[in-house]
Amino acid sequence: MRIFDGLSKFLLVLSIAWAAHGSVWAWGSAGHMAVGHLADQLIPDNSHAKAQINAILGANGTLRDAAIWPDCAKYIQPKQGFIYKPDPKYYDKSCTIYDATEEGKTEMRDYVRRNNDNCEYSGERSNCHKSFHFADIPIQENHYDPKFVGAQNYDVVHAINAMIAVLQGHPAPAPFNIPNNAQGKREALRLLTHFVGDIHQPLHVGSVYLKPNGQMVDPDKTGYDPQTNTVGGNSLVYGSNDANELHGEWDHVSTALAGADLVSNAEKVGATSGPLQGWIEIWATESVQQARKAYEGINFGPSHPGNHANSLVWPVTFKVRKDYLTSEHEMQREQVIKAGRRLAQVLQVIWP
């Protein structure tokens, strides 16, 4: 069960780690675009769903482009009057489709302003929208449950369900603040497209919690200690000077996938069982199980202070690096294919 004591400390640790990583690109723009592009191809041109997508995004709008918008919006700076200001070190130039015009920047600003302090994230009421992209379920659980440590009512599962509700014409459930108008629908479709990608990145849902000596703990059993939080693998590092982060490695999907023809593989992905309301938790459960596999073949070393103030990192080593990378790339491809197919399926259920 969730331990509420120490929640703010938990959030503080998150804050340090996430702030340290600047703009975190789950799946990178390449992975998200691949997911959106697959759904663009899978939804028939003459379908109701495609007509709705075109009505919301405009005739030239694609899910491929929609997929990256929520990460571009992370460049909005709440503490600097909500200006749009990417850190050049982390800027992804795919965002030029949104930041080239004042209207584009205004739309991102509006969304962030409404979803900035509506939940407590990172120990403070700011940047709430950045927390919509993930959950940190301990991999020992083997499934997603909203009561587990690492689940929140603003995590990626809740975010996807909220965006589905908006696209179905219902008000966004709290804490999500998405208006029921054309702009809100556009936000919801972009967010849904992006988050369906995120929920299929295993390290965005399943996480490991480690003692200082690198031994794994289950915070749902032992009680939550913020010092054990690896922040979805952002605090797991390897290479000289701890230069590489495991989470970042998993986010990085080959750009070749974005343009690749994955359609025939995606068509083999069956529908998720049961009604739409239960699908998202099923996908999250699957990702927790995939995360468990993603953490196989890794040894966790004892923690030491990281390169960023007040952060702890655990150096990891790979039992057989080459084998690990092969499995990782296979799983990334499989997850992108599933995400694209499932995005298309969700949209066709919303607009049959």
Nearest approach, Cβ of 190 to Zn ion (angstroms)? 11
Helix (H) or strand (E) holding 326: helix 321-350
Nearest approach, Cβ of 70 to Zn ion (angstroms)? 6
Site residues (vs Zn ion, CB under 5 A):
26, 133, 198
Instruction: Give dist(CA 86, CA 249) in Å, integer.
Output: 22
For residue 59, give the amino acid letter: A
Nearest approach, Cβ of 74 to Zn ion (angstroms)? 8
- Give the nearer residue to Zn ion in terms of CB position, either 84 or 134: 134
Nearest approach, Cβ of 194 to Zn ion (angstroms)? 6
- Give the nearer residue to Zn ion in terms of CB position, either 186 or 247: 247
- Nearest C-alpha neighbor of 56 from the set 195, 243, 203, 185: 185
Nearest approach, Cβ of 79 to Zn ion (angstroms)? 21
CB-CB neighbours of 158 under 10 Å: 20
- Give the nearer residue to Zn ion in terms of CB position, either 141 or 251: 251
Q: Which residues are bridge partners to 241 per DSSP?
A: none
- Give the nearer residue to Zn ion in terms of CB position, either 28 or 175: 28
Nearest approach, Cβ of 285 to Zn ion (angstroms)? 19
- Give the nearer residue to Zn ion in terms of CB position, either 28 or 306: 28
- Give the nearer residue to Zn ion in terms of CB position, either 206 or 219: 206
Give 91: exposed, middle or buried? Use CB within 10 Å, 0-12, 13-18, 19+. Answer: middle
Q: Give Cα 272 to chain centroid, integer Å.
A: 20
Query: What DSSP letter does each residue of 42-95 carry, written as one string?
Result: HS-TTSHHHHHHHHHH-TT--HHHHTTHHHHGGGEEGGGTTEE---TTT--GGG
